[in-house]
Amino acid sequence: MTTKTKRLFFLFVLLLICCLPGLKINAAEFTNSLAEPLHITSDKLEADKKKGTIIFTGNVIAQQADGTIMSDLLVVKYGDDKKLNHIVATGDVRINTKGTVGTSRKATYFPDEKKVLMEGNPRIWKEGDMITGDMITVFMDSDRVLVEGAKATIYQEKVRPEDDGP
């Protein structure tokens, strides 16, 4: 089975799981808390209704209109009301959104606040500039970044050296 076929299969399984009457999780209700649908592909998926989690493992790609999160593991957490609480990506995390690239060991996405909290050697590149720190919070709808323990590399001519990219 090719990687693309595997991803489509697992997306199909996710949709099937979310639509099964016994689980009482409606895919429309689940994505209602998102402004745009969230599309996730991975090598493996595990859903646990009692815990309110869906766990994606291996080559995870989560895409929404605002951007993409790629990771080794992604945990989707939702409440009793089927509303998405947050998404935690761990492992080799890479985030692409609105011309910004970010990497870290862990990233937590809060859809209600449209923000991503990056931890574990977080780095962000935008227009040739690079920011790193202890913790980075990206506010996705306002093009704003908050960095704790900040270090920055800023290029006046906006030309990024080839060996300095993500």
List the chain domain ranges: 3-164
Which of helix, strand or coil describes residue 23?
helix
- 76-117 pLDDT, tens digit per residue, is 998 888 888 899 999 999 988 777 889 999 999 888 888 889
Residue ranges of the alpha helices (H) in the chain? 3-19, 27-31
- In words, the CATH class of domain 3-164 is mainly beta
**In this predicted model, what pLDDT tens digit does every residue of 3-59 receive, in sequence order?**
544 443 444 334 333 433 333 333 333 333 445 787 889 999 999 988 999 999 999
Per-residue pLDDT at 32? 38
Half-sphere exposure of 67 (CA within 13 A, CB side): 21
